């Protein structure tokens, strides 16, 4: 997040007194405003959550089996071939 971005949006939150005190104390330790501290913390958390959802992790043996199955020759599927032929044989209409 750029510090140069225009700040036009507002987000409000209600929190319990203990959390508010901890946030105020932490912002003092960081030598920043409470608002700045909260925005930075929320933005950091948002980036982590987005990154966690951007990728799918699987065990290596599962991934190896997946690659093996993708590399294996295709097995004929007569039902699928018949459906494709039927679709090819359907009349097509063109717009005038």
Mean pLDDT by 10 residues, the chain (96 residues): 74 95 97 96 97 91 94 91 89 75
Asked if 27 contacts 37 with a C-beta cutoff of 8 angstroms, the reply is: yes
Q: Domain coordinates of the chain in residue numbers?
A: 17-89
The angle subtended at Cα 42 by Cα 36 and Cα 47, nearest 5°, is 125
Contacts of 66 (CB under 8 A, 6+ apart): 58
CA-CA distance, 24 to 35, in Å (whole number)?
Answer: 9
Provide the whole-model pTM: 0.55
What lies within 8 Å, CB to CB, of 34 at 6+ separation is: 23, 24, 27
């Amino acid at each position: 997040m750029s510090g140069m971005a225009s700040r036009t949006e507002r987000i409000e939150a209600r929190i319990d007194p203990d959390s508010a005190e901890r946030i105020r104390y932490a912002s003092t330790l960081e030598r920043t405003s409470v608002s700045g501290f909260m925005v930075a913390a929320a933005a950091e958390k948002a980036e982590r959550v987005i990154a966690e959802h951007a990728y799918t992790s699987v065990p290596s043996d599962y991934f190896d089996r997946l690659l093996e199955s993708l590399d294996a020759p295709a097995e004929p599927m007569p039902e699928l071939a018949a459906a494709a032929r039927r679709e090819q044989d359907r009349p097509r209409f063109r717009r005038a």
